[in-house]
């Protein structure tokens, strides 16, 4: 247990090799730009249309807001979760096992820690690409009117990072692709349902509320909404930030340690 | 350690969980030589080599490559060596030339130098026509040449080749042999594993034979043949009834021999007379031939199949 805390809390030394990992993924992304564009930005956009505007039109107000104003920050958070999560699980698992890309890169002077860091940075970038694309569209739709939105973009960046680390951790323990089906249907989707994305968390039984706050997504969503409400005096806002920062840090270290152990045997 | 040592291992051990794949190997490879590692399937050749190119953790012992400690200075080592792994390890998401470009980036070679080097390597390895082909569309031989080009991108001081000619057609193999001879002439150090004993005999200055994680012998092929076999081999078949009689007579005259099914191989040391053998084995069909490294290999590693 002691060892567990040690690996979770000590930061690995990183050289600048991670840049080339990022660059490799960027090159590949550029080649498949339109496919990526489709699912990274258009998918959340469909949710925005169907749930935000569609379902939302039946709801007059929710906690004093229009439904679309309530839903939109949540949708940004879920995009910041989904895109890095899929990049970090399916794509990276394929690179790790079938394509043996990491083994190939390890023939060079790049270290496993640099590979992990570069991969997470990439998954974060891709998630952020989705977040920014969605935000840009929302700006044209008139959903963003407040300069505090810039603060939200910082929260979303942390969220992207956090979930890319979590995805990498799952990749490090996955046996096959089925593991990701369990992780998606058994963890990610239920989390998005109970974390206040579609309706306020308080509406649920206490047990579900507690579970929601143990998991990270609710903290991102609450934080974004609190910022847009200008609730800066609310102590909970700072708890959310602390939670997200700590989890980002710990999950990064843990997954870096796990993948490194898998790569160099 | 002297300056002309390229690789030195000091009793290194590699364990996968409880299984010992490399069991205390001491080796010294000299700069500029072509060193061949022979051994049956599962002998531990790849495992030993992987530790040398810092691709796997050393369980026990010390390993120095170009005077650098493999446990600590693996980054420096990796920037000074080139590796062609058994399974090529190419990046299937990119085409041939992008594989080389990316690899140069990973090795942190500046773009200008990389472009120059890649152009000359494509030419040297006859890859110009395949530069823009995706990896899956390349034949085994072409993939291997690409892996070799990749290994040479940083002008390495040592090049590691794990079974470089396995799965290649005779033309590609011949081409590769010539290529390795060129590398040798340029004073490059080559460390290779192979199952083709003629290949080791043809290319390598020294060979080591490995089995069950241990090195059985190391030397120049010529000397190994002389030491373990002798000058000539006399081969004959015998029916099972007479076999024992023959073997007893051979023993009586101090001949060294090996039996495989109904075939008897007599190893004739220098100074030993072959006439006596012909006296002993009168009726059988007998052949006399020059021994090869293959005979050393079969003598030391045995005839049995290795099922893992
Ligand atoms: N990653 C691994 N985990 C567990 N066992 C392994 C691993 N890699 C190799 N081994 C075992 O170690 C032994 C030596 O393997 P190695 O690949 O070094 O043999 P080799 O001499 O290269 O054989 P071949 O000629 O078939 O390539 C084999 O029995 C193999 O099953
Ligand atoms: Mg092997």
pLDDT one-digit tens code per residue, B174-193:
999 999 999 888 888 999 99
Q: What angle do CA B160, B164, B166 make, to 5 degrees?
A: 150
Angstrom distance (rounded) from CA B247 to CA B87: 45
Domain ranges of chain A: 2-264
| Two structure tokens written together for B179 | 């290529």
Nearest CA-CA partner of B99 in B145, B55, B67: B145
Residue A193 tokens read as 């349902």
Work out the pLDDT band at B242, boundaries 50, 70, 90: confident
Instruction: For residue B212, give the nearest of B55, B87, B49, B48 by alpha carbon.
Output: B48
Q: What is the CA radius of gyration of chain A?
A: 19
Residues 6+ apart with CB under 8 A from A240: A219, A220, A222, A223, A226
Of A20, A28, A103, the CB nearest to B106: A20
* pLDDT value at B102 more than 70: yes
- DSSP designation for B128: G
Position B283 scores a pLDDT of: 62
Is residue A173 within 8 A of residue A259, CB to CB? The reply is no
Q: What does the pLDDT read at residue B306?
A: 64
Q: Cβ separation of B85 and A107 shorter than 8 Å?
A: yes
CATH number of B1-80+157-229, picked from 1.10.3720.10, 3.40.50.300, 3.90.180.10, 1.10.1040.10: 3.40.50.300
* CA B92 from centre of chain: 27
Can you tell me which residue has the tokens 């309530």?
A: A70
CA A55 distance to own-chain centroid: 25
Rounded to 5 degrees, φ, ψ at B218 are -140, 130
Percentage with pLDDT > 70 across chain B? 97
Q: Which residue of B has its CA nearest to A91?
A: B93
By the CB < 8 Å criterion, does B98 face chain A? yes
Instruction: Give the distance from residue B111's alpha carbon to the nearest chain A alpha carbon, in angstroms.
Output: 13
CATH class of B231-290: alpha beta
Domain boundaries, chain B: 1-80+157-229, 93-155, 231-290
φ, ψ of residue A11 in degrees (nearest 5) = -85, 135
pLDDT value, residue B301: 81
Distance of CA A126 to the CA centre of its chain: 10
Cβ atoms of residues A105 and A114 within 8 Å: no
| B92/A108 touch (CB, cutoff 8 Å), yes or no | no
* Burial class for B116, CB neighbours closer than 10 Å (0-12, 13-18, 19+): exposed
Write out the E strands in A70-226.
none
Q: Which of A104, A114, A118 to mutate to test the interface with B (most CBs of B within 10 A)?
A: A104
Round to whole Å and give the CA distance between B231 and A174.
58
- Give contacts of B 164-223 with A, CB under 8 A: none
Residue whose structure tokens are 């080097």: B117
Paired sense of beta strands B232-237 and B263-268, if any: antiparallel
Tens of pLDDT, residue by residue, chain A (265 residues): 566 666 666 666 678 899 999 999 999 999 888 888 878 888 899 999 898 899 888 888 888 889 999 999 999 999 999 999 999 999 999 999 999 999 999 999 999 999 999 999 999 999 999 999 999 999 999 899 889 999 999 999 999 999 999 999 999 999 999 999 999 999 999 999 999 999 999 999 999 999 999 999 999 999 999 999 898 999 999 999 999 999 999 999 999 999 999 998 8
Q: What is the pLDDT of residue A145?
A: 87
Say whether B98 and A27 touch across the interface (CB within 8 A). Answer: yes
What pLDDT band is residue B243 in, cutting at 50, 70 and 90? confident
**pLDDT tens per residue across span B57-96:** 999 999 999 999 999 999 999 999 999 999 999 999 999 9
3-state DSSP assignment of residue A145 = coil
Contact of B91 with chain A, judged by CB distance below 8 Å, is answered with yes
ipTM value of the model? 0.89
φ/ψ of residue B60, rounded to 5: -150, 155
pLDDT at B308 over 50: no
Q: Is B106–A265 a contact, with Cβ atoms under 8 angstroms apart? A: no
């Amino acid at each position: 247990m002691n060892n567990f805390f040690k690996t979770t809390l000590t930061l690995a030394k990183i050289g600048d090799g991670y840049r080339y990992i990022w660059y490799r993924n960027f090159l590949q992304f550029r080649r498949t730009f339109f496919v990526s564009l489709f699912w990274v930005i258009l998918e959340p956009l469909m949710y925005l249309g169907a749930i935000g505007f569609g379902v939302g039109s039946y709801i007059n107000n929710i906690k004093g807001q229009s439904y679309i104003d309530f839903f939109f920050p949540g949708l940004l958070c879920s995009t910041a979760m989904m895109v890095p999560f899929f990049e970090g699980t399916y794509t990276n698992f394929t690179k790790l096992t079938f394509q043996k890309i990491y083994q190939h890169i390890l023939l060079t002077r790049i270290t496993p820690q640099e590979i992990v860091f570069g991969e997470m940075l990439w998954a974060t970038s891709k998630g952020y690409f989705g977040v920014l694309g969605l935000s840009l569209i929302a700006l044209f739709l008139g959903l963003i009117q407040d300069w505090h939105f810039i603060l939200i973009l910082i929260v979303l960046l942390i969220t992207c990072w956090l979930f890319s680390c979590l995805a990498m951790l799952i990749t490090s323990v996955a046996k096959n692709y089925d593991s990701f089906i369990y992780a998606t249907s058994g963890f990610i989707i239920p989390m998005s349902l109970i974390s206040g994305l579609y309706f306020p968390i308080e509406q649920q039984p206490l047990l579900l509320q507690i579970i929601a706050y143990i998991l990270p997504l609710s903290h991102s969503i609450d934080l974004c909404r609190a910022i847009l409400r200008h609730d800066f005096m609310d102590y909970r806002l700072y708890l959310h930030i602390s939670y997200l920062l700590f989890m980002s840090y710990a999950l990064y270290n843990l997954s870096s340690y796990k993948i490194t152990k898998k790569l160099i045997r | 350690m002297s300056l002309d040592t390229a690789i030195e291992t000091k009793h290194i051990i590699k364990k996968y969980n409880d299984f010992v794949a490399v069991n205390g190997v001491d080796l010294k490879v000299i700069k500029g030589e072509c060193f061949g590692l022979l051994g049956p399937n599962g002998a531990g050749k790849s495992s030993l080599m992987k530790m040398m190119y810092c691709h796997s953790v050393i369980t026990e012992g010390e390993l120095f490559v170009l005077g650098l400690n493999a446990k600590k200075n693996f980054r420096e080592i990796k920037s000074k060596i080139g590796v062609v792994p058994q399974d090529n390890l190419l990046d299937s998401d990119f085409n041939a030339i992008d594989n080389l470009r990316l690899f140069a980036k990973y090795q942190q070679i500046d773009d200008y130098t990389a472009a120059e080097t890649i152009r000359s390597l494509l030419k040297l390895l006859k890859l110009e026509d395949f530069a823009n082909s995706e990896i899956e569309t390349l034949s085994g031989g072409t993939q291997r040449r690409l892996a070799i080009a990749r290994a040479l991108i940083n002008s390495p001081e040592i090049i590691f080749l794990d079974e470089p000619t396995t799965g290649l057609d005779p033309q590609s193999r011949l081409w590769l042999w010539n290529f390795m001879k060129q590398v040798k002439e340029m004073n490059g150090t080559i460390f290779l594993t192979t199952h083709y004993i003629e290949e080791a005999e043809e290319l390598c200055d020294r060979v080591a034979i490995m089995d069950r994680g241990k090195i059985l012998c190391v030397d120049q092929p010529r000397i190994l043949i002389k030491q373990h076999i002798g000058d000539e081999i006399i081969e004959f078949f015998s029916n099972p009834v007479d076999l024992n009689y023959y073997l007893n007579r051979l023993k009586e005259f101090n001949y060294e021999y090996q039996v495989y099914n109904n075939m008897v191989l007599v190893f004739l040391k220098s100074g030993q007379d072959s006439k006596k053998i012909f006296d002993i084995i009168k009726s059988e069909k007998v052949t006399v031939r020059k021994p090869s490294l293959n005979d050393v290999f079969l003598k030391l590693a045995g005839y049995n199949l290795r099922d893992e």
